[in-house]
Amino acid sequence: MAIKTNHKSISMDGKRVMTMDEFKQWLKKFDADKDGRISKEELRSAVYETGGRFGRWKSWHGIRSADTDGSGFIDENEIANLVGFADKYLGVRILHL
């Protein structure tokens, strides 16, 4: 169950609730060089924005777990691989609609 606060849905455990499309849009704001991919440094910015600590380790872990082609970046096709990372480290629950 989620509740709405200031146009954001928050789950009962305090996590921000997003659809996959909303999550992709949210991640795009961290794409500093606008190349369509998320780097380790850009993912670190997302960790810090959500109040997370240990951003360097968490971003490395996120890239490692989601980067299936070994490019060192997360591209559009690999964002779905970040769902578990987002739930555990970003406080974001992704709804699969």
CA distance 46 to 60: 12
What's the CA dihedral at 65, 66, 69, 74 to 10 degrees? Answer: -140
CATH number for the domain spanning 35: value is 1.10.238.10
Please count the structural domains in the chain.
1
In tens, the pLDDT along 26-77 reads: 999 999 999 999 999 999 998 888 887 788 888 998 999 999 999 999 999 9
Confidence (pTM) = 0.77
Residue 96 predicted with pLDDT over 80: no
* Residue 3: inside a domain: no
* Residue 52: inside a domain: yes
Of the listed ranges 1-5, 6-10, 31-35, the one predicted with least confidence: 1-5
The predicted pLDDT at position 6 comes to: 47
Alpha-carbon distances of 78 from 5, 13, 35, 53, 82, rounded to whole Å: 30, 26, 15, 24, 7
Confidence class for position 13, pLDDT limits 50, 70, 90? confident
* Residue 46: inside a domain: yes
Asked if 86 and 92 count as a contact pair (C-beta separation under 8 A), the reply is: yes
- In 28-39, which positions are buried (b, 16+ CB within 10 angstroms) versus exposed (e)? eebbeeeeebbb
Which residue segment(s) compose the domain that 15 sits in? 8-95
